[in-house]
Amino acid sequence: MNLGNSPSLAPQYMAMIPPDKLSEIQTKYLEDLGKLGKDPSALEFKDRRFMGEAWQNPWSKALVSTYLLNARYLNELVQAVQTDTKTRQRIEFATNQMIDALSPSNFLATNPEALETILKTQGQSIQKGILNLLGDLGKGKVSQTDESGFEVGKNLAQTEGAVVFRNSLFELIQYKPLTDQVYERPFLMVPPCINKYYILDLQPDNSVVRYMVSQGHTVFLVSWKNPDASMNRITWEDYVGTGVLEAIRVTQEISQQDKINILGFCVGGTLVSTALAVLAARKQDPVESLTLLTTLLDFTDTGILDVFIDESLVNLREKSIGGAEGRYGLLSGLELANTFSFLRPNELVWNYVVDNYLKGNSPPPFDLLYWNGDSTNLPGPMYCWYLRHTYLQNDLAKPGKLKVCGEKIDLSKIKVPAYIYASRDDHIVPWHSGYQSTQILKGPIRFVMGASGHIAGVINPPHKKKRNYWTNSDLPKTADAWLKGAKEVPGSWWPDFTEWLAQYGGKQIPAPKNYGHGKYKKLVAAPGTYVKEKAQKV
């Protein structure tokens, strides 16, 4: 994790707090500290890390109350710093990383639950915890799940299908129909190249792929290759041209259709939109509808990820792996995964440190967390282009600013009907930033906001009857205005999406009985070979 020049609440930033405000915060802090000195329960703090019975003894309550008071005090100081928004975000992020790391629950001597476990297990928990720690040091990451409980193709990515095309960047999977009749236009799914595709096909009961096949769509899916050293010169343009544009062409040929429906998820959506802008510049129109899931096109506000990215960081990456000065390389998938985990440190890091090391437990098997830890590398030039021209300079949203595959990019030339989904609690693609795509694309648009986060909001099968979503047929200029007029609907957004997509599927035809067509034959059974490749150490 690299914060560039990002500081925590250093003395120079304390000096940027107005004296009267600093005095007010400090006076209140000393008053509250005095109250705690007389009675550890004098202030009401609620934190699920400390709700267990073992934490209710007087010594632990005093320790926890002081810790939480100090955390509140530091955050109040951060909010009082008079500086620009980005600097404050960086200070806040670094300060909260420190606060979370110093929690009493993270240390054996101050965690009464861990101490009780030692007594109950007669010391066995310490031995198991050390073994867990040594194992994770070898892997370079904190284990979040029992990785031995899953295997891609066995109990993950099980939807029946076949690889019908392969090039140096991706395998194209065609899935077996589950209905006698299918829509004539195929449905191509482009997942993010930052992770493996099977987030869309975890297990039968939560598989987006299987659900779409069951709704009568002939589904094709891009499975990106996990980059190795031979791919250290691959660019964003390659992912668009050799990747998305080629996948569209092959899907057209196999289905014998002039037009297809296409979906892009996260970075996959950014790649798909870039590809459609290239096609628009060429006056080509092979897509009937576009679906974007948790995708950024306008990078004005990128939420918490913004704290990592500035000119110095991007310049450093360009010089080390991006091809500047002749240096090419890969971004480590392990580094990327650890960075994303530290965006939510209590849930994805310290929770497992406590349970795995201090208490000596082994994490249970969980398909989503197995996928989360199945990392992929990224080619340096592709990654650096992406950082500079989206997160740093927001060039993709500027008509004519960029040239990709020989064409000037203008996203406003994309005029196909679009379904845009964002998740309310997404910390990677803030929903209001996802909404900005409605102001860029020029075709008929349906925008839907789902509950939960970047992944859990998307993977929400209808049969579980969980969560909810919001709809509003009006598309005002701001996300807040859209939300004021939105209607809340219980359950999954998937049925809403398939109802929308059906109108662009074309007529019903008999389901194909074979994979591929013409020169495109079954190469291997799904999930293919690329998805099973593990990230090579960088």
- Tell me the CA distances in angstroms from 96 to 10, 91, 427, one per residue in order: 13, 8, 15
Residue 502's pLDDT band (boundaries 50, 70, 90)?
very high
Q: What share of the chain is helix, strand, coil (3-state, %, to 5)?
A: 45, 15, 40
Residue 305's pLDDT band (boundaries 50, 70, 90)?
confident
Contacts of 94 (CB under 8 A, 6+ apart): 3, 6, 7, 8, 9, 307
Nearest CA to 123 out of 350, 355, 360 is that of 360
**266 flagged as catalytic:** yes
Percent over 90 (pLDDT), the chain: 87
Contacts of 410 (CB under 8 A, 6+ apart): 277, 280, 281, 399, 400
Residue 37's pLDDT band (boundaries 50, 70, 90)?
confident
Instruction: Give the pLDDT of residue 8.
Output: 56
Contact yes or no for 208/501 (Cβ under 8 A): no
3-state per-residue secondary structure call for 291-304: EEECCCCCCCCCHH
Mean pLDDT of the chain: 94
pLDDT over 50 (residue 227): yes
The region of weakest confidence among 46-55, 271-280, 290-299 is 46-55
pLDDT tens, position by position, 456-491: 999 999 999 999 999 999 999 999 999 999 999 999
- The two beta strands, 219-224 and 187-190, are parallel
Contacts of 518 (CB under 8 A, 6+ apart): 253, 254
Total-model pTM? 0.93
Instruction: Give the pLDDT of residue 16.
Output: 87
pLDDT over 60 (residue 2): no
Instruction: Give the pLDDT of residue 9.
Output: 64
Contact yes or no for 387/238 (Cβ under 8 A): no
Residue 10's pLDDT band (boundaries 50, 70, 90)?
low
Look at 398 and 87; give whichever has higher pLDDT.
Answer: 398
pLDDT over 70 (residue 441): yes
Residue 536's pLDDT band (boundaries 50, 70, 90)?
confident
Scan for tokens 């129909």, then name that residue: 177
Contacts of 480 (CB under 8 A, 6+ apart): 432
SS3 156: strand
Tokens of 316: 């450093």
Contact yes or no for 173/220 (Cβ under 8 A): yes
pLDDT over 80 (residue 106): yes
Instruction: Give the pLDDT of residue 232.
Output: 96
pLDDT tens, position by position, 360-404: 999 999 999 999 999 999 999 999 999 999 999 999 999 999 999
Mean pLDDT, rounded, for 166-195: 97
Beta bridge partners of 449: 422, 470
As its CATH architecture, domain 161-332+375-532 has 3-Layer(aba) Sandwich (3.40)
Instruction: Give the pLDDT of residue 6.
Output: 43
Instruction: Give the pLDDT of residue 3.
Output: 40
- The two beta strands, 260-265 and 287-293, are parallel
Strands (E), 372-455: 378-379, 403-404, 407-408, 418-423, 445-450
Contact yes or no for 372/453 (Cβ under 8 A): no
Mean pLDDT, rounded, for 92-108: 95
- How far apart CA 465 and CA 22 sit, in angstroms, is 49
pLDDT tens, position by position, 204-217: 999 999 999 999 99
pLDDT over 60 (residue 7): no
Beta-carbon count within 10 A of 365 CB:
14
